[in-house]
C-alpha cells in the first residue's frame, strides 16, 4: 500500500488531532503517502481531500477538536454515497482509509470495506462506548472536564446546602456518568443501562440529610432523561432546594490529557501498520494496555459492556 487516507467523523473528541498526527507521521515514516479528508464522510463524497506532509500535523498534538473537521453525514449511509466516496479515493490513487470516530463512523468504514475498499476504524469518542477496546480516544479528557465541573459545583452546592443535578453526555452509554460520578464522589449516578428507582434515590438523599449531609450531587447521563426533567421530579418528591447544571458540549472540547495523547498515538500508528500489512476491515483498540485489533463486523456485533464492578462500587461508596 503506497497511498492512504485519514478522516475524522461523528462527534469530535479530544485526542483526535493526536491520532491524525500519528497516522500521518507513521505512514510517512514507512514511506507511505497520506491524504487528509476534511469534514468526515461529507468531505469524502465532495472530494475535500489534501495531501498531508510531516509539517501538516505539526503543533496539533495538544489541541482539542480535529484539524480535519468532522460531520455527521446522512448521505454516506446510502450505498450511492459510499460509492461516490470510493470514486473520490480511487481517483487520487488512495488504496486504504483510516477512520477515526465512533459507532456511526465504524459503520461507514465497514460498508466501504464490504464494497472492496479496505478501512481501519480507530475509536474516537468521549462516550467510551466502542466495542473492541477498553478505552476510546477522548474519554479520559472528557472525564477530567466533568470532574473539574463537579468539583466546582460541589463548592457552591456546599455553601448553599443545595442538591445539584449534573447532566453529562451519553445517549446510550453511561461510562462518562459512571466514571465521573465515582471519581467525583456523587451520591447518585443515573445511567441508561439501569432503570432508576426514585424511591431509593429519595431514601438515600433523606438518609444523608438525616446524618448531617448538607448538599448532594446527582449525575444524570443524558440518555436517561434531561437533568431539568429529573430535577423537577426530585423536587416534587423531596422539596430539596435543587439546581441543575447541563455540561453539554464543553465536555467534547479542551486540550487532550496525556492519557488520550498516548492512546491516540498508539492506536493511530497501529492502524497504519495494519493497512501496510494488508489487513483491511479491522478496528484497533487497547485491552489491558495491549494493542488489539478485531474484524470490524465482529467488533460492531459485540455489545458494549458497562463495567459492572465499577457500577457496584459506586453504589457501595456513596452510602
Give CA torsion, residues 75, 78, 81, 86, to 10 deg: 140
Report the residue number, 169 or 306, with the smaller CB distance to ligand F6P.
Answer: 169
Classified as helix, coil or strand, 43 is helix
Report the residue number, 33 or 103, with the smaller CB distance to ligand F6P.
Answer: 103
Q: Is 11 annotated for ligand binding?
A: yes
Q: Is 213 annotated for ligand binding?
A: yes
* Alpha carbon distance 97, 311 (integer Å): 37
CB of 168 to ligand F6P, least distance (A): 8
Classified as helix, coil or strand, 98 is strand
Exposure of 108 by Cβ count < 10 A (0-12 exposed, 13-18 middle, 19+ buried)? buried
Q: Is 170 annotated for ligand binding?
A: yes
Q: Residues in the chain, how many? A: 319
The site for ligand F6P (CB under 6 A) is made up of 11, 72, 102, 125-127, 169-171, 222, 252
Q: Is 25 annotated for ligand binding?
A: yes
CB of 274 to ligand F6P, least distance (A): 24
Q: Is 252 annotated for ligand binding?
A: yes
User: Among all residues, which ones are annotated catalytic?
Assistant: 127
CB of 205 to ligand F6P, least distance (A): 27
* Alpha carbon distance 294, 73 (integer Å): 25
* Alpha carbon distance 157, 202 (integer Å): 18
Report the residue number, 1 or 67, with the smaller CB distance to ligand F6P.
Answer: 67
Note the Cα 9 to chain centre separation in Å: 11
Report the residue number, 4 or 100, with the smaller CB distance to ligand F6P.
Answer: 100
User: Residues annotated in the binding site for ATP, as ranges?
Assistant: 11, 72-73, 102-105
User: Residues annotated in the binding site, as ranges?
Assistant: 11, 21-25, 72-73, 102-105, 125-127, 154, 162, 169-171, 185-187, 211, 213-215, 222, 243, 249-252
Amino acid at each position: 500500500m503506497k497511498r492512504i487516507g485519514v478522516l475524522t467523523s461523528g462527534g469530535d473528541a479530544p485526542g483526535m488531532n493526536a491520532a491524525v498526527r500519528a497516522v500521518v507521521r507513521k505512514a510517512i515514516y514507512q514511506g507511505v503517502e497520506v491524504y487528509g479528508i476534511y469534514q468526515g464522510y461529507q468531505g469524502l463524497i465532495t472530494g475535500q481531500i489534501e495531501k498531508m506532509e510531516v509539517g501538516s500535523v505539526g503543533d496539533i498534538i495538544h489541541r482539542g477538536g480535529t484539524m480535519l473537521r468532522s460531520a455527521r453525514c446522512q448521505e454516506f449511509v446510502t450505498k450511492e454515497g459510499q460509492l461516490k466516496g470510493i470514486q473520490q479515493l480511487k481517483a487520487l490513487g488512495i488504496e486504504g482509509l483510516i477512520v477515526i470516530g465512533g459507532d456511526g463512523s465504524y459503520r461507514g468504514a465497514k460498508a466501504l470495506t464490504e464494497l472492496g475498499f479496505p478501512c481501519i476504524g480507530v475509536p474516537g469518542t468521549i462516550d467510551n462506548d466502542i466495542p473492541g477496546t477498553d478505552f476510546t480516544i477522548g474519554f479520559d479528557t472528557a472525564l477530567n472536564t466533568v470532574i473539574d465541573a463537579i468539583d466546582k459545583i460541589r463548592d457552591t452546592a456546599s455553601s448553599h446546602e443545595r442538591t445539584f443535578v449534573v447532566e453529562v453526555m451519553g445517549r446510550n452509554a453511561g461510562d462518562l456518568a459512571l466514571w465521573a460520578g465515582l471519581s467525583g464522589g456523587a451520591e447518585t449516578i443515573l445511567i441508561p443501562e439501569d432503570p432508576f428507582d426514585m424511591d431509593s434515590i429519595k431514601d438515600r438523599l433523606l438518609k444523608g440529610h438525616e446524618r448531617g449531609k448538607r448538599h448532594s450531587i446527582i449525575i444524570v447521563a443524558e440518555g436517561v432523561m434531561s437533568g431539568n426533567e429529573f430535577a423537577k421530579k426530585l423536587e416534587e418528591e423531596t422539596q430539596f432546594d435543587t439546581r441543575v447544571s447541563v455540561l453539554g458540549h464543553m465536555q467534547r472540547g479542551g486540550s487532550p490529557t496525556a492519557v488520550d495523547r498516548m492512546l491516540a498515538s498508539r492506536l493511530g500508528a497501529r492502524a497504519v501498520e495494519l493497512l501496510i500489512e494488508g489487513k483491511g476491515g479491522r478496528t484497533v483498540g487497547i485491552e489491558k494496555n495491549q494493542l488489539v485489533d478485531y474484524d470490524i463486523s465482529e467488533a460492531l456485533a459485540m455489545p458494549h459492556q458497562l463495567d459492572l464492578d465499577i457500577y457496584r462500587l459506586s453504589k457501595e461508596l456513596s452510602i
